[in-house]
Amino acid sequence: MSVTMDQMLESVTDAISAMVIFAAEAANNSTVLRNLAAGAQGVASAVNYLVGQANSTVGLWQKLGSEEMAKRMKENNDNLVQTVNNLVGACKAVAENPKSAPFHLSFAVADPV
């Protein structure tokens, strides 16, 4: 069974929505926090897969003579991976020590290509 890009993106969106709901319920519930960390890891896996697919187009942009687009694609992909890794790290830190970690997470999101 093959999965379309739309189906993959819908799954990522659903996972992020579930994480937001978990975060809202997580104030004093360490089980929810552990689930949040696991959810973040799931989102990271999906995002890393999508970034891998997107990285495969960088060479195509170069072949088409669009070095600028290739550069922007690579930079945005790298930023996206870093952002999702920050998300996973923050969720794990909060799950490990919920009383000392802030419950707000801020991330720098790259401009769309």
**pLDDT tens digits, the chain, 113 residues: what are they?**
555 667 767 777 777 777 666 666 655 565 666 677 777 888 888 888 888 888 888 888 889 999 998 898 889 889 888 888 888 888 788 777 766 555 544 444 444 44
Check residue 109 and give its pLDDT. 44
- Structure tokens of 12? 């990522």
At residue 113, the pLDDT reads: 47
pTM of the model: 0.62
Query: What pLDDT shows up at residue 110?
Result: 45
Cβ-based burial of 95 (10 A; exposed 0-12, middle 13-18, buried ≥19): buried
